[in-house]
Every structure is written in structure tokens, then in C-alpha cells.
Structure 1
């Protein structure tokens, strides 16, 4: 490189030109200059990625779970980062005419002749330390891995931290520079120690790793007491929650010893005052009122009670995720009555309350298995240790490192922090501004400016990450439940104004910073262009759909919509839409029932989805009472999304579902042609499909079912529905479609096989899927789908495929 000695008038006193020459001298005129430039560009992309992940991935909902796509991209970059940067560091520290290569740093005492580390090498070392600090952004706090798997990532990171420490303390010279790099390394080492402690301590914790087995033992004992006639099982609906002994927190205090036929010997629940149950939470709200509390905490904020219920249900559902023994029928019956009778109230928007509880329960599951922050450890004690004590210890270690780097000369050591570090001496923002101004007049300053920007972006991402972690922890559901359980378990805390005030303040902040419980799901339509799942739009679950879904669960559980326990359970089994056609006043639609008898549920979903999409294009949304068209179209698009991108959440074999969706796309391309399939608008594609007059599009001839493709079935059904609308109002047809889609989404919700349970477990990394909410409700209440009437077996080249 040739240097142009042009001074910037804005920054004449900070030696910006000398700083630029120092940064570029280690590779100026060398053959590796192209690699250095490429490294700067790639590092800029990585820094922007970290910053974007901090700013946009959790600010909207303050979640501790990253989207798996962002984590995948950054984890791939990080896996290659250390070896590449270690090589570039070794190259950069070789002197290539660097002005500082053999000069004595102001922070070096005694005339040391040890070569000074070039600025470019120090910059690369800074990047390595900062990226290591940001590594947690893409690695979950794994609390459930078994055996050596739990420690593989921990010891891998430990080796990385040790390697970085070796590079820092064997290469960096100058008291001030050693102190600054030592600060960064100490923070890296502290983060690693924290992660190691989390993995080690929680391995044998009854509150975390071993909790699923403990809860199974507790529920067995609870069901045994109910069978022996302990009051609570025959309570009226309004009293079921007040008498519920599902444990919310403190169950580890019940353990007497790890022995006995069920794994643990447990103390009697009534003898352990620190155990908080659902019933205890609900009863306290009435006690607060009776005691004359002017501002009762739980009574005035009932969502806190429901949050505790979500925690209790989360602990029950964990047993299914971790392959514990299946729940007994007595337990599912008890849980069914608790949710569908005790919680669900038709006159109090009970459907929304039930789904709110389930949504919080699935959020607990998602954060437990995929959190990048230790929110599952949230408690007042952990808050004090992790966010108050640990920072003080780190500061003390940093001060000790500074003093040791100055050989015990305290004032000299702290003075050289500013003297030995150019950016600290003149101010980081001033240096950046001067570099940018210098880059406008000299091309040689452009890439040094980029390198400095990278360092600043990484520093900013790290500080944002720490701030967001603190806010997420403080406002997390875990911390709120922990506070509430201590408020309930210790009566003296309830009479102190400080603690209720703290709970109310956090509740107020949660309402301001966390969005309301709004259940959203992805929307996919066959009439739109086929996009990547990450690019699909989302929509909220319609308010009108929530009570319909919960009522359908009650029909499947009790045989009717009320609370009469004399009706035989499962007297109204789940169906693929047929029940919606058999409802009173819909006999004119019974000729469409053969579309509900399609054996493969993926084919049934796509058939009704195509028909619903065609009706939507012909008769778009209008403001009407009940808006059944919104319910129908959103549930239709979500079910189509499940078929296309989440086959593991649907009944049947995944490969069979994928094959059905692939064949549907081929049939669409065949019917519409290349240009009609890829480029037209939804209306153009809908009009093209409506003009098809194939001989097979005859919905009244059921004998043609097997010979028709999914697309042809959907078009035939859509035409039949549109014809029905032409004979009257579109309201009855939309009401029919809304009921059909409630039936279909209910039909696919129950799953008992390990394959589908694993699918829901993997889906937790993406957040709360509506199907996972319904699966959780079906698991708690013991509702299942009818067994298939037949199994379709198709011979293929590689063997047998089950449809």
C-alpha cells in the first residue's frame, strides 16, 4: 500500500494518521492483503449478525429463546471463527515494518526489550475475546442432556477460554494493555465457570434434572389418596381449583429419601409448609380479601394465579417429553375436570383463559429446553448471586489483574490503562469519528475504520446482550412464579410492604414491556407463491375460535357441552369434519361427507384448504357477526402450513405426509401450467382453477374418490360450496367451514407416539405452535382420536411406505 500523508483538520491532535499506519503496516504490501480485507468484511457481517440478534430477536417479546435459523447461521460462523482467527493472529503478530513492533510501550517498566504485539494482532485478539463472550447467544442452557453429552459443550468452551488466556498473557505487552485484555478474558472465564456450575449443580437437582421422576412419584401418591376417598375429587366445578394439589414449587422439600416402590419416599403434603400448590394459590386470593387487604395481590391480578397453574401443568407435561411412564386414567380424568370444568367458564371468556394457560405452559417448556439465558433458575437468591455478587467478584479480579500487571505499582497500573490504549486515551467515539473523516480523504483509512467499527459493534452487542439478559430474567414468567411462591409460602413476606410492592412493580413492567398473550401461527395458502417457511406471514388465533376449540374438547371428553358427569366419555369422537356436516340444519351438505372420509389426514386437510381458499377468493371477508370466515381461513392456512413444513406434528408417517404435499404441488403445476403456477396473483390462480372442467370434478359421484387427485378434490369441493352460496347467503357456508376446520385441527391434535412427541419437542425451539398447545391439552385430558379404519400400504422401490 502507498500512504498519502493528508492530515484531517477535524482531528489534528490525536495522531489519527499514525494510528492508521500502525493498523495497516502489518500487512501493507504483503501477499495476504486480500485475505485481511476479506476477513474484515466477514467479521463485519458477523458483528452485524450478533447485533441484529440482540436487537430484533427478543426485544419484541422479551423471550429467552432465539429463532433456530439465526442460531444455526451464527453457530456455523462461530465454529470456523476460532481456527481461522488463530491463524490470522499468528500471521498478524509477525512484524512487517510495524512502527510499534520494537518500541517500548508507556506501560512497560524497566526498559523491557520484548517485541510489542502489532495493532492488527491486538485487534484480532479483541475480536476473538468478544466473540467468545457472545457465544452464549447461539447455545442453549442445556439442562436435560444425559451423561457426558451435558459436558461436551462446556469443556469445548473451556478449552477455547484457556487458549485465549494463553494468547493474552503470553503475547500482550504493556501494563495497560494487559489489564484491558485481562478484563475481557476474566469475563470470558467467569461466563464459562457459570455455565460449568449450572451443568454440575443442576445434574442432581430434584428441582430440575430429576424433577420429572419426582413429580411422577408425587402424582402417583396423589392419585392413591384420591382413590382412598380423600376429599377433592368430587368438588363442584367452582371449587376444583381451590382443592387442587398439583405442585407449583417446592416439591423437592417433600422428599424423605430416594427409595420406595415409586422411587421416592415423600412426606405428607400437609406437613411441609413451604410447598406451594395450585389450590393454595387459589385459596390465598380469598384469604387476602377476608383479611381486608386494600390491594390484594392475587385477587386484583388473576393472571398471576393462572401463571402458577401453567407452571404446575408444565411439570406434568415434562414427564411426557422425558419419556416417563404414561399418565394413569385417574390422573387424566382429574386434570380434564380441572381444566374443562374448573378453569373453563363460558360466561367469562373461558376459551381464552384455557389457551392462555396452555400458551404459558408451552412457553415454560420452550424456555426450559432451548433458553440461551438461565431463566429457569430464576429466584430471588439466584438474582442476588448472579447479578449482584458475581459482578462484584469480577471487578475485584479485574482490579487484581491490573495491579499484578503493574508489578504492584497501583497508581502506575491504573494510569497506564489510559496511556497504553489509544481508543481509551482519546475517547472511542472521537476515534471512530476521526477515522470516518479520514476515510473520506484517504483510501488507506477505509478498512481500519471498518475494523474499528467491527470492534465497536461487538462491544455494543455484548453490552446489549447483558442488558437484555437482565431484563428478560427480571420479567420472565419463571422469576414471577418464584416470587409468588415465596410470597405464598412465607406469610411474614405478605405483611411486608416491600415485597408486594416489588411484585406489583414487576407486574406493571411486564404489562408495559411484554405483549399481551397473543397466540399467533403461520399462514400458508396454495394460491400464493411457495415461500420459505421463515418468510410466511403470521396471524393471531381468532378470538371466536378459542371457545369453539375448548368446547369441542369438552364434547370429546364428556359427550356434551355441559358438566354432567353421567354422560359416557368420548361419546362424540373426533372426526375429520364429518360431525360439522351432521349438525342440525345442515342436511343439505351431507352429500359432501365423502370429502371427510378421506383416510389420509394430510389429503383431507389439503382438500378442504383448496376449497376454503377458492370460497375466500369468490366471497372475501366481510364484517359480520361471529366472523366465521376469518376463523375458517386462518385455521385452514395454518393446517396447510403444518402439512407443508411441520409434517412431524401431524398423524401418520412423516414421509407419507411429505409425499402427499409434493404430489399436490405437482398436480397444481400440471393443472395450472408453468406460468400459471409460479407467477400469477391469488385471484388469477383462483380464476384459472375455477375454469377447469375436468370430467372427474363431479362431487356427487363418490365412486370417483380414489381416481381424483387432491387438487381435483379441492376444486370439486370448492365449486360445490360456491354453488351452495349462490342459492342463498354465504354465512351458513362460512359457519360450516369454521366448524369443519375446528374438527380437523382437533383431530390432528392428540399424539401419543414417541415420533410425534419428539416432533413437538423439536418444535419448541421455534416458540409456541398452536398445535403444541392443543397437543398439551389433549395429553392432560386423555383425549385421543379414533383408530384408523384402514392402513394404506404402497409398494415403492426402496421398500414399503405407509400413507
Structure 2
């Protein structure tokens, strides 16, 4: 179509004639068809971390259904024109749009969204049926058959939704998993698990629905009574399957890892809805990950398992129903696909034979019937959409999981060489990426002068619909996570395992490898201070490396250089990696990418960091102000580096000195690192790489599951992968270095103490156990042989058995210990209720003499509160 004809068609559409009405309807049909196809294509990127793609997808999901309903209404008004193709458009748009409804982001627990989507589907179904019934189209038999596919799939999805929601293999699985894991460990208390051969790992994969589920009085707890052993698939059974596929063809464990990822995903779901798994289960999972998955330090396998686990989790929370649990989906989808394609082809053939009558209203351009072309385009779009849905289903991780489990069950039609080759090919094929594999970036020294006045105007002009931009927060381009970064993470995880993690990260993990002269920079007020100080220092080292390695260019070559580089893909870093040695390049990539990623987390997603979000914002904004005061007038990275090098100050009295700003501390640290003659370039970047890797791992554990869950819709952050890994291991917090040192100095009866209950804390344990790290206002009860250390302020730990309560600070309460054990040193205003034979050593000198080798005494015993002392109910032995 020429430009003149296009303008003419637009002018015609503005008139109120029959021609104009038909032109407007044609335009509306084409527009809606394009939007629906775009929505379907963009579904492959629904977990992309690009904000533009996510917002575009959200807009398409919002406007598509209303536009289709509006278009069907337009078609209803022009059915008297005698155009036989108009009613076909309404049905084809209905079929095309209804196929995208399963893309809507709601889970089994999101009933409000579910109701809205169902209502929209029913409205559109009714309007389309009414149009077919009232138009009297000559194609009505074809249209009724095609229309019926929509209600069939709607009813089927509603039934599947309810079945999945009530299913113990999916919707109710977490409650069942907790009870099952408790019973498994009670039955196998003395078994020694093998994390490589999976012996003893009876983690459920599939088959719960094939067993007897019972709930009996008085507890009414859900119990799994195994009645069909063949259908119950566990990790141990998968790894010990004698089939040729898993013993010979799966040497890289890629097939079995699908089941492993799914089993870990089920355990993680329990953690996300705050259902506590047995401590031994978390210990076994920790052993499985650190001694099994990390065995061999294969970063590709480790991250493949983590990404697959995250993909299962994202499908559970942010897709309508994972198609792996749709009952009978392959059969019903194949039937609907076959019917749609066959009747679509018959309809297309009939449309091709239909010639317009004299009184009928059609549009022709250069002899071509525009309405017929639109009909063909819609039919082709539906065929492609149905085929694409089938491909997505066949190559999804859910299908792979079902097929592998059926193979492990011993299904006869899968235990042959041809079927095994097909399964192997299926498991190695991926149509859509499981995870975006990118990390955000932010460079403070490049962005501190950023003033987003345009975005601020849009923010206020749209009444805060557009998010308010951050002063000095110019986000960098997301970069692909380098293989060097993944390998460094894996190596660091292996090294962490040597620390006997228990339920918290080792204290000051990021201190390792830092020279003594630079350790002052690791002792900051908050993690926000720590990140910014080291990020500024790392950026200074990067600028210096750029100055040292950039080639000298003469003026005669500068034009050719610019002409060449203008067509090159922009680099993630300012330093040319080719100019560096291999080891230096690897360390530089790791240190710089993670440094910028941690800064990105601080500025744009501070809720994922341990500091309070308001504290992080205030620290960052204060640092921006300081940077503008210190670095004002600097217009290049070279001038910024020179200015930072000239910042006055030294490391004397640096600790605890709040008068020195973050920018000054970063400048002093960067100057020290660059001036250290004992470190060459490779060693410098190795130290920085080790620091940033360890710091990222130290920041990852968290008990804020809802925050990480909310970020899954955008694909999840890189730190979310690490959080999921630590959560599976039962690691939700970080050990404080000072408290850890004090805890290590305390030895209690039978070497299983209850250590350090801070202010207003209460500690106890059942059995011979130690109490470890309960957050503020938290209450932890431990059964069996467990360790609980460091109960913070207002934390309460109750239990029974032999235990010793040591070092209860001011206002502390150590309670709930039944049995023999001394209670030592309760400071001022402390209350220690106990039962049965308990010894109260109230005098510091006596306690120090009797337990010199066991306990380190505080010096505030004289601060006893007499009123509190009267409340003690202790029987002295």
C-alpha cells in the first residue's frame, strides 16, 4: 500500500459512513491481533529483568482483553453489511485471546486475580456466542466448532486448577512434606547419608497422590502412608535406577538434576510459607549441596540446578498453573490442536471459494480483498499459537520431570533404546531460558552527579504513577554473569563448607584474604557503609588500571580508532580485557562486576540487604552529597582519581570515627591499595575479587522470604539464587564476629552449651543441645541434638533436658531448663527461672574459681537487682 492510499484509508475511517465503520473495524481487528500475538511472543520474556520488557508485558496483559471485547462489540454493530468474514473475525480473536489467559500472573493462592480472569473469560465467551447466534453467517457450523474449543479449555483449566490446589503433590504439598520429613528422619536416625550416591536421601520428588493420605485425632496432622512403593519417587530411587538412560547416557547428571532441583524446590516452598523443617533435614540438605552438588566444583552444574529450582518456584507463584500438573493436558491439548487446525483449514478453503455479492460491503486494494487477507492472517496466527503452546509444553521442565519419573517407575514403553534417546534429547532441549542470567550494575564514581530532572518531572506530572528517580542513581546496563564469577562463587562456597556452617554464615567472612593494614576498612557501622567504601576503592583501582593499560594513540590514528570503536559493542568495563593477563583479567572481572552489583543492590533494591531500607537510603544520599562536595568540578574519571588520591587523612583512629565520611574512607582505602608495594596488579585484584565474592555470600542469607518472593516476578535477582541455596541449608542469618568469639570461649557441660543470651533474651534447649542465633523477638525451641547460639534482644528459647545457661546479660532471662545443670552469672535485672536441681553461683570470684576452664565471667555481678532476686525460684543443690 502506497503512502497516498494509506492516508486515504485513514481519512475514510474518520467519516461516519458504512465504509468508514468497516475501515475502523478492520483497523481494530488488525491492531488487536497484533497485540495478542505480541503478548504471546513476549511471554517467553516474562521473567526478564529488563524493566521496559516487564512494563510492556504488563500493559499488554491489561489492555488486551478489554480491546477484544470492544472489538467484538464493533463487529456486532456492522454484521448487517453483508460481509461474511466479519463474524469469523470475532471467533478467531476470541480463540486467539483465550489462549493467552494462562499467561496471567497468579498462583494457586491468588484467588482475587483468579476471579477477575475467569469473569473476563466468561464475558468474552458469552459475547462471541451471541454474535454467532445472531448473525446467520454461512460459516456458522465451522464457527461453532472453533468457538467450542474455548469453553472446553476454560472448563478444563478451572477443574485442573481446583484439583491442583487440593492436590497433596502440589497445592497442599508443603504441609505433607514437613510431616513426611519428620517421619523419615525418625525411621533413619542412625543412617549415614551419601550425598554423591544419594543413599539415605529419601526426599520426595513425585508420587504423593498415589499414596494413602490420612489425618487422625487428636493431632489431625497429615500423614503419608506409603501403599504404592513403585509410584513413590525419591532422590535415592532416581539415583539408584538401573535403567540404561540414567546409568550410562546421563554421565553429566543433567537428567537426574531435574529431579534434584524439583526436590529442593519443594523444600524451599516449605521455608517460604514458614513451615519449619527438621533441623536434621536442613543438615542433610546442607551436606547434599556442599559435599554433593559442589563436589568437583562444576559451576555449570551448580548454577543449572539453582536456576532450575528458581524456575519451578517462579512458575508456582507467577503463572496460572504449571502445565506439568494439568491433569490430562497432553491429550486434551492434542485434541484441541487437531480440531482447531483441521477446521481452520476447512474454513480457510471455504473462505477462499466465497465471492462477494453486489450488495456486500468489502474493501479491495489493487484487486486484493483486504477482509479475506485479514481472515487468513488470523487463522495462521491461531495455528502458530496452538503449535507454539504444544512445543512449550513438550520441552518444559515440568514435562521432563514427569517423563523421568515415569521412567524411574519402570514404564515398559520408556525402557527401550529409542525412547531413552528421545528422552535424552528432550532433556537437553530448551526453548525458553529458565533464568535471565544477568546482574544489575551501578558505578558510583560515574553516577554521583546524575540529576534526573526529566524523570522527576514525569514522576510529579503523572501523579507518582512513574516511580520517583533516585538522585545520583543512574543505573548501568545489566551484564551477563561471567563464567569467572560463577566459578569464583562455587570455589568460595567450597571454602565456606570447611567452617561447619550450622545455621549461620561464619563471622566476618569477607575479612579473609584482606591484609592486616586494610582490615580497618572492614569494620564499618553498617553494610551500606561497607559496600560504598570498598566500591569506591575498587573503582579507584579500576581507573588506575585503565590509565596503566590503555594504549597510546597519536592524533593521526584517533579518527580511525573512533570510527572502529563506534561500531563495536560497548564493553561492560572501562578496561580492555585483552590488555590484561589471564589471571588478572579473571580477578578484575569478578571484583568489578560484583562490586557494581552490590552497589546496585544498595541503591535500587536495598530491601534485599540486611540493613534497614531507610538506613540504606540515608547513607547513600549522604554519600552523594559528600561526593559532590569533594569531587565538584571533576569531568573525567582521571580527574576523579586524582582528586580522591589527594584526599587528606590516614588510617590512624579510623575505627569508630564518624567524622570521616564514606567518600574519604573509600579514597584512603583506594590510595592504600594502590600504594602497597608488596602487591602487584594480579595480587591486588585477587584480593578484591575474594573480598567481593565473600561479601556477596555473606549478604545472601535472609529470613525475609516475602521480599525475595516479590522479586521473582522479574526473574529474581542474582542474590536470590544464593539466598535459595542457603535457605535450603537452613542458613538464614550471619554470625556476629564479636559474639562468635565470646561464644567460642564458653564451654559448658558435655561440650554442648547454651551461649550468650543478650538483653531480655531467654534461652533453653531440649536434650543435649546448643542454641544458635535467634533474631530479635524470636522464639526458638530445639529438640534433640541441635545447636542454638546467640539469642538476640527479646529472643526466647525454651526447652528441656540437660543444659547450662551461661552469660545472661542485663535484663536477660534464661528459662525452661529442666534437669541438672548450673546457671552461671545472671547480670543486673536478670531473671533466671529454673526447675529441679539448679545451682546459682552468684559471686563472681567463686564462679571464676570453680569454672575457670569452662566459662568466662562478666564483671557486672554487683549490679544485681534485689527486687528481681526475690522472684527467683531456684532450688540450690
TM-score (norm 1): 0.72
What are the within-5 Å matches in structure 2 for residues 158-169 of structure 1?
A: 158-169=122-133
- Flag the 1:613–1:136 CA change in 2: closer, same or farther, 3 A: farther
What residue number does 1:718 align with?
670
What residue number does 1:644 align with?
603
Cα deviation, 1:472-506, whole Å, max 9, x if unaligned, reads 21111111111111101126345434532331332
Q: Does 1:133 align with 2:91?
A: no
Aligned to 1:523, which of 437, 441, 444? 441
Partner Cα distance (1:540, 1:722) in 2: 28
Partner Cα distance (1:729, 1:43) in 2: 67
Aligned to 1:598, which of 524, 529, 546? 524
What residue number does 2:15 align with?
28
CA contact (8 A) 2:591 2:689 kept: yes
- Flag the 1:86–1:175 CA change in 2: closer, same or farther, 3 A: closer
What residue number does 1:382 align with?
329
What residue number does 2:768 align with?
none
What are the within-5 Å matches in structure 2 for residues 298-447 of structure 1?
A: 299-321=250-272, 323-345=273-295, 348-371=296-319, 374-377=322-325, 381-383=328-330, 385-392=331-338, 417-420=351-354, 435=365
- Flag the 1:570–1:122 CA change in 2: closer, same or farther, 3 A: closer
Equivalent residue of 1:257, what SS? strand
Cα deviation, 1:212-271, whole Å, max 9, x if unaligned, reads 1111121111122233x3x2xx245544x23311111112333342346472232248x6
Cα drift, residue 634 of structure 1: 1.4
Cα drift, residue 603 of structure 1: 3.0
- Larger displacement relative to structure 2 (590-599 or 147-156): 147-156
- Flag the 1:392–1:123 CA change in 2: closer, same or farther, 3 A: closer
Cα drift, residue 71 of structure 1: 2.3
- Flag the 1:544–1:139 CA change in 2: closer, same or farther, 3 A: same
- Flag the 1:295–1:690 CA change in 2: closer, same or farther, 3 A: same
Cα drift, residue 314 of structure 1: 0.7
Cα deviation, 1:693-746, whole Å, max 9, x if unaligned, reads 77566455415742344444333332332223x664111111111111112111
CA contact (8 A) 1:256 1:267 kept: yes
Equivalent residue of 1:702, what SS? coil
Equivalent residue of 2:115, what SS? helix
What are the within-5 Å matches in structure 2 for residues 208-607 of structure 1?
A: 208-227=170-189, 229=190, 231=191, 234-235=192-193, 238-239=196-197, 241-259=198-216, 261=219, 263-268=221-226, 272-284=229-241, 287-288=242-243, 293=244, 296=247, 299-321=250-272, 323-345=273-295, 348-371=296-319, 374-377=322-325, 381-383=328-330, 385-392=331-338, 417-420=351-354, 435=365, 461-490=381-410, 492-493=412-413, 495-507=415-427, 509-510=429-430, 519-528=437-446, 536-553=476-493, 555-559=495-499, 569=502, 573-575=506-508, 577-581=510-514, 586=515, 590-607=516-533
Cα drift, residue 303 of structure 1: 0.8
Partner Cα distance (2:534, 2:607) in 1: 20
Aligned to 1:773, which of 712, 721, 730? 721
Partner Cα distance (2:221, 2:145) in 1: 47
CA contact (8 A) 1:48 1:457 kept: no
Cα drift, residue 569 of structure 1: 4.6
Aligned to 2:735, which of 786, 799, 802? 786
- Flag the 1:53–1:709 CA change in 2: closer, same or farther, 3 A: farther
CA contact (8 A) 1:133 1:462 kept: no
Cα drift, residue 295 of structure 1: 9.2
Cα drift, residue 331 of structure 1: 1.4
CA contact (8 A) 1:71 1:137 kept: no
Partner Cα distance (2:666, 2:377) in 1: 52
- Flag the 1:591–1:46 CA change in 2: closer, same or farther, 3 A: farther
CA contact (8 A) 1:614 1:686 kept: no
Cα drift, residue 749 of structure 1: 0.7
Aligned to 2:683, which of 722, 726, 732? 732
CA contact (8 A) 1:601 1:651 kept: yes
What residue number does 2:751 align with?
none
Aligned to 1:154, which of 113, 118, 131? 118
Partner Cα distance (2:52, 2:640) in 1: 41
Equivalent residue of 2:168, what SS? coil
What residue number does 2:711 align with?
763
CA contact (8 A) 1:248 1:278 kept: yes
Equivalent residue of 2:269, what SS? helix
- Flag the 1:193–1:31 CA change in 2: closer, same or farther, 3 A: same
CA contact (8 A) 2:65 2:120 kept: no
Q: Does 1:72 align with 2:34?
A: no
Q: Does 1:196 align with 2:158?
A: yes
Partner Cα distance (1:397, 1:534) in 2: 54
Cα deviation, 1:549-584, whole Å, max 9, x if unaligned, reads 34544555541xxxxxxx685797143732332xxx
CA contact (8 A) 1:558 1:570 kept: no
Equivalent residue of 2:188, what SS? helix
- Flag the 1:597–1:249 CA change in 2: closer, same or farther, 3 A: same
CA contact (8 A) 2:591 2:692 kept: yes
Cα deviation, 1:456-477, whole Å, max 9, x if unaligned, reads 7766554443333222211111
Partner Cα distance (1:644, 1:250) in 2: 45
Cα drift, residue 764 of structure 1: 1.6
Q: Does 1:656 align with 2:656?
A: no
- Flag the 1:86–1:747 CA change in 2: closer, same or farther, 3 A: same
- Flag the 1:132–1:573 CA change in 2: closer, same or farther, 3 A: same
Cα deviation, 1:389-427, whole Å, max 9, x if unaligned, reads 33356679999xx9xxxxxxxxxx99865455769xxxx
CA contact (8 A) 1:367 1:376 kept: no
Cα deviation, 1:592-650, whole Å, max 9, x if unaligned, reads 32322223223322322222222122213423227211111111122222223322322
- Larger displacement relative to structure 2 (362-371 or 124-133): 124-133
- Flag the 1:254–1:134 CA change in 2: closer, same or farther, 3 A: closer
CA contact (8 A) 2:48 2:715 kept: no
Partner Cα distance (1:36, 1:701) in 2: 81
Partner Cα distance (1:124, 1:514) in 2: 30
- Flag the 1:353–1:129 CA change in 2: closer, same or farther, 3 A: closer
Partner Cα distance (1:695, 1:361) in 2: 48
Partner Cα distance (2:702, 2:604) in 1: 18
Equivalent residue of 1:524, what SS? coil
- Flag the 1:349–1:122 CA change in 2: closer, same or farther, 3 A: same
- Larger displacement relative to structure 2 (631-640 or 602-611): 602-611
